[in-house]
Structure 1
């Protein structure tokens, strides 16, 4: 069967429209059906990309062909005897890593947003012509993508190919006047593309990324699973996010987080950005090739349920910062400080007592990606608690095998059995297989561990495990609203708490989330209320900590607030701030080979 042919062109930069043409050489005899995915792999939410198709028509030769919409994302053409051409326009103004975007300065698209699939021919070869936009303003535009090139200009515009639809949609495309640099990791070319205004120190960035990439390639074993890799980053004022692909990642970061030439230290924002790069890069193995069976293949017309997201996102979240340590980007204490922040974030989520990790994985479609003001009370993140579960699993295996085995061995075994030959075998990890492989490879019976960590809402055995590895644990009250965790010396006096998350509001303090078991909830306050006065004095987000510091625990304060446009009065009784803030530090005395194997100190 002949290849499917696509042509995409940025047609209206100011209007944010791509024009796409799909030519089907051998359409179905009874009327060809075409469809667009309703979600994008790696982001588990039904996004209804077809809503952005604003005009669509079909032709056979020069003759119009009836095209009937069947449902929210499928169309069927009337039967024709020759090739079928479908032309459509896509609105692209989603400044994220998940969709498509176009304006006078930049273009970007994921295939799931712009390329219709041909029902029954999803396994056929695809060819894509990426055409340059018209007009003087776009003369300097270039293309960055890992789609295999067939015949392209120096600018990158031209023809590309993909073995099938699954590959076609797994190579996002960046368009515009971006900056691009290249480095090699374990002999593999890696491109770094940055779009948007920036002053990035590329020399430092490439040096750091090279270390991270080589650490990960060597963990799983050379060669890398791709011929080249592309980091593409969109710079904004305050953005953050990433999405993995088989040979690239699309990222958004805040401008101040990128490294500058005059900076002598790695700032916190830059470490966060490197952690994001590390996370998405690790997905090249863990989820893009080692996949849950539910994703082999992806059912892109509906949700794909699995209880294993804790393993594919949580374990990746564990390794992302750990790889910064192994690459020499972080010191052991810096790594422990980041780990303490993760522990603090989970500890401050009451939903960890309501939802297990398996439930969190299964409910991603309806809970994690659809969070509201009550989410902290109802759910736990399979990213952050999943990372802590991975930490516990790694330390448990190391402890019970005397350091002979670790989570590294489990990941390498999964790679050998499922990931390395996934393109040929298409074999995903079954819902119970992951745990079985972990027990088999480690030689440790882990059933009780998994029952506790994955299928109960009990506390994780983090503190005991860290203690065994020579890490001191501190659980203390927060020192103000900006305290995210970390070791503190000296006497720590517990302050008071209102039991809510807040945001600044022109009128006072807006309650964004109210915890089920806190003073604000007991006082009858709700998310969305805007507090304007405590005890008769005007209040704001900037002075809340100082305003409350003079009251002892148990004090009852009259609170005035607006709920919608109605003034309400409540009595709030202050509680002692809980010891929900973690600090970690290495003990002075050695903890032997166990700690060396984990932290390399």
Structure 2
């Protein structure tokens, strides 16, 4: 999943937005899909009144009683997942379910809700039909949405399951609203049956979002694989250019592993007023982008970055994965220390792929790398939380940020992207450019996905990385991954003839250390940077700053404090919960860095050769 982890300042506070993505069990079924001609479960999905934002779901179970020993127990327990792979937060999808009923052999049977996401159906019959409705009015890549214009289905938030029936073949019958003509999904179509699809098990169904409506569609072939792009939203674009550039991105991504595991691939693209991001799946992805995504070169490159990120996930996460990321427990958190690899290193590859495809010049790529380092080093949380801890705590911290998060956390996307760059450099330097991060990814793909058909442990990944590099990577793992200590960046950049330099201007301007909202012409504190003047002297989130040194403050706080000197004390009047407080604040030096990668003096021929190898310069 992609959340763009480039960090932005508001005054002194970094706020980051993470574009989220799905991870599911790497199934061989998408590569050689077995026939599901005799499904044990059939789901019928309809939307007769889309303007009400409801999907109607019918779940038909045949021979289910025998398969689940219901004849012995006298009941079936039917469950709704509480989260979707790739978006690491318990989302409680059952909150949108209503009107749950059940019949057996065509007759109503008793059912009741027994837990937050589970219903018990009292029957021992072999032929059970369950019906329920799902409220769908949240258009994100991890939730459901339907209105008069289109429908979008995140399967984890739509389809229920029975534990003992998760591995049997199933079928999905989509009944589009009467004026809708198209369905886009990575599911396999059933020959001769309109809008009917099959999957060998529930995991693959969860991994296959569905777009329903009158979207525009175009296609292209990349690496010998047919690709479909379903475009929802009123947006102008150059179809021929998009086709060509999708192909360039996809083929550059495929070069990393050297093998494309899909029979076909589907992009579902939503063009919406606000927001953005993506969620990856085994042979498809959903992308959300602005309606002006193609209006400028900067916006267009940003969109292609999102494409590269989610597309590379079809290898990294969907097939190359830590052991925790499949098979999934859909009722509980699935913990791993390696989201910095699964998500963060995919963020590293998104830019590296665009460099290889020719969208970024070497100079642009170097600026991206330096800006990524600037972003994490300017966030106080980088000295508090390690990349491994950030990965583990995604469930309680990464997706639930508060006003203090920048002081205590670091994104596994942003730090993971930096770590991907450093690991790539460490491998290149360890064997004089004979191997790179690509070779590590290929080994993981062939050894664990293809040969052992499982994920890898933390220790197995470290061993593979060190074998690929041909040397110990103690500093990378012990400091870069598993601690919050400062990284010796130039140890990694020196072999390619570069040095990381802080080019932030040295001024005597004092530093306050607050983020503010100026809504309504007021300056209200939204965040306070750890170690800053505001933090030390007691400005709080929620304070409305009324005046500085008796000068009234509206939305012009920045202007009033500009050019104040380090060590100067400001008398700040605030409204705190309806009470006036005067707080003296003594300005501190500006701690913010701005890093650039610059050539070392007297670069050797070996360094230049490795530099060219790294940046694909011929």
Q: Equivalent of 2:485, from 458, 462, 483? A: 458
Following superposition, the deviation at residue 67 of structure 1 comes to: 1.1
In the TM superposition, 1:366-445 aligns within 5 A as 366-420=396-450, 426-445=453-472
Aligned to 2:305, what secondary structure does the other structure show? helix
In the TM superposition, 1:106-185 aligns within 5 A as 106-134=150-178, 139-151=179-191, 158-185=195-222
Instruction: Provide, for residues 100-132 of structure 1, a one-character-per-residue CA deviation record: whole Å limited to 9, x for no partner.
Output: 001111210111011101220100001000001
Instruction: Provide, for residues 542-578 of structure 1, a one-character-per-residue CA deviation record: whole Å limited to 9, x for no partner.
Output: x444332232222211222233333332122222222
**Does the CA-based 8 Å contact 1:333-1:585 persist in structure 2?**
no
Structure 1 residue aligned with 2:125 = 81
Following superposition, the deviation at residue 529 of structure 1 comes to: 2.0
1:471 and 2:498 correspond: yes
**Does the CA-based 8 Å contact 2:39-2:171 persist in structure 1?**
no
Structure 2 residue aligned with 1:573 = 586
**Does the CA-based 8 Å contact 1:249-1:280 persist in structure 2?**
yes
- How many angstroms apart in 1 are the aligned matches of 2:509 and 2:233? 43
- How many angstroms apart in 2 are the aligned matches of 1:366 and 1:127? 35
Instruction: Provide, for residues 328-370 of structure 1, a one-character-per-residue CA deviation record: whole Å limited to 9, x for no partner.
Output: 0111111122222211221121111111111111111111111
Aligned residues: 570
1:598 and 2:614 correspond: yes
Following superposition, the deviation at residue 65 of structure 1 comes to: 0.9
1:7 and 2:51 correspond: no
1:531 and 2:575 correspond: no
Aligned to 2:564, what secondary structure does the other structure show? coil
Following superposition, the deviation at residue 290 of structure 1 comes to: 1.4
Q: Equivalent of 1:204, from 229, 234, 241? A: 241
The 1:570/1:318 distance shift into structure 2, 3 A limit, reads same
Structure 2 residue aligned with 1:484 = none
Unaligned runs of 5+ in 1: 478-490
Following superposition, the deviation at residue 446 of structure 1 comes to: 1.8
Q: Equivalent of 1:292, from 322, 335, 339? A: 322
The 1:208/1:562 distance shift into structure 2, 3 A limit, reads farther
**Does the CA-based 8 Å contact 1:152-1:158 persist in structure 2?**
no
Following superposition, the deviation at residue 496 of structure 1 comes to: 3.1
Structure 2 residue aligned with 1:319 = 349
Instruction: Provide, for residues 166-195 of structure 1, a one-character-per-residue CA deviation record: whole Å limited to 9, x for no partner.
Output: 001111011222222111111211122221
- How many angstroms apart in 1 are the aligned matches of 2:39 and 2:183? 26
**Does the CA-based 8 Å contact 2:40-2:64 persist in structure 1?**
no
- How many angstroms apart in 2 are the aligned matches of 1:95 and 1:131? 20
**Does the CA-based 8 Å contact 2:503-2:594 persist in structure 1?**
yes
The 1:513/1:232 distance shift into structure 2, 3 A limit, reads same
The 1:67/1:150 distance shift into structure 2, 3 A limit, reads same
**Does the CA-based 8 Å contact 1:453-1:460 persist in structure 2?**
yes
Structure 2 residue aligned with 1:482 = none
Aligned to 1:369, what secondary structure does the other structure show? coil
**Does the CA-based 8 Å contact 1:96-1:252 persist in structure 2?**
yes
Instruction: Provide, for residues 126-164 of structure 1, a one-character-per-residue CA deviation record: whole Å limited to 9, x for no partner.
Output: 100000114xxxx144211111001477xxx52100010
Structure 2 residue aligned with 1:363 = 393
Q: Equivalent of 1:228, from 232, 257, 264? A: 264
- How many angstroms apart in 2 are the aligned matches of 1:436 and 1:32? 45
Q: Relative contact order (alpha carbons < 8 A, sep ≥ 6): 1 or 2 greater?
A: 2
The 1:277/1:539 distance shift into structure 2, 3 A limit, reads farther
**Does the CA-based 8 Å contact 1:467-1:473 persist in structure 2?**
no
1:307 and 2:340 correspond: no
Between 192-201 and 43-52, the greater mean CA deviation after superposition:
192-201
- How many angstroms apart in 2 are the aligned matches of 1:494 and 1:152? 75
The 1:462/1:272 distance shift into structure 2, 3 A limit, reads farther
Q: Equivalent of 1:70, from 114, 118, 133? A: 114
- How many angstroms apart in 1 are the aligned matches of 2:598 and 2:544? 39
- How many angstroms apart in 2 are the aligned matches of 1:566 and 1:63? 65
**Does the CA-based 8 Å contact 2:105-2:125 persist in structure 1?**
no
Instruction: Provide, for residues 298-351 of structure 1, a one-character-per-residue CA deviation record: whole Å limited to 9, x for no partner.
Output: 111111111111111111111111111011011111112222221122112111
**TM-score, normalised relative to structure 1:** 0.91
**TM-score, normalised relative to structure 2:** 0.88
Structure 2 residue aligned with 1:48 = 92
